């Protein structure tokens, strides 16, 4: 219990819940990225981009195009 195939240690499977250094680094990157996105969304250019995306999301043809693109991207993995 706590080991993955190949003998690798899995912290969640073993009940070990402390964060590793890479986990905290990744969280720092994600929080920094989210902060920059929030900051951009408050600018005039950010508000204009948000309005443009909302209009595109309301268009059924654009939704179909977006679903197709996401499907192709997911299929390549």
Task: Going residue by residue through the chain, which has 77 residues, state the pLDDT in tens, using 9 for 90 and above.
Answer: 445 555 555 555 555 555 566 667 777 778 889 999 999 999 999 999 999 999 998 999 999 999 999 999 998 65
Which pLDDT value is given to residue 22? 63
Rounded distance, CA 68 to CA 32, Å?
30
Are 51 and 70 contained in the same domain?
Answer: yes
Which pLDDT value is given to residue 11? 56
- Residue 3: CB atoms within 10 A of its CB come to 11
Are 35 and 53 contained in the same domain?
Answer: no
Are 15 and 38 contained in the same domain?
Answer: yes
Are 36 and 48 contained in the same domain?
Answer: no
Are 3 and 35 contained in the same domain?
Answer: yes
What is the domain extent for residue 59? 44-77
Question: Is the separation of the CB atoms in 38 and 32 below 8 Å?
Answer: no
Which pLDDT value is given to residue 1? 46
How many structural domains are present in the chain? Answer: 2
Its pTM stands at: 0.49
Query: DSSP string covering 15-62, please?
Result: T--PPPHHHHHHHHHHHHHHHHHHHHHTSHHHHHHHHHHHHHHH-HHH
């Amino acid at each position: 219990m706590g080991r993955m195939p190949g003998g690798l240690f899995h912290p969640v499977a073993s009940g070990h819940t402390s964060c590793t250094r890479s986990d905290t680094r990744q969280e720092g990157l994600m929080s920094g990225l989210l902060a920059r996105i929030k900051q951009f969304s408050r600018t005039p250019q950010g508000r204009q981009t948000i309005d443009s995306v909302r209009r595109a999301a309301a268009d059924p043809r654009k939704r179909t195009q977006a679903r197709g693109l996401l499907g192709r991207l997911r299929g390549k993995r």
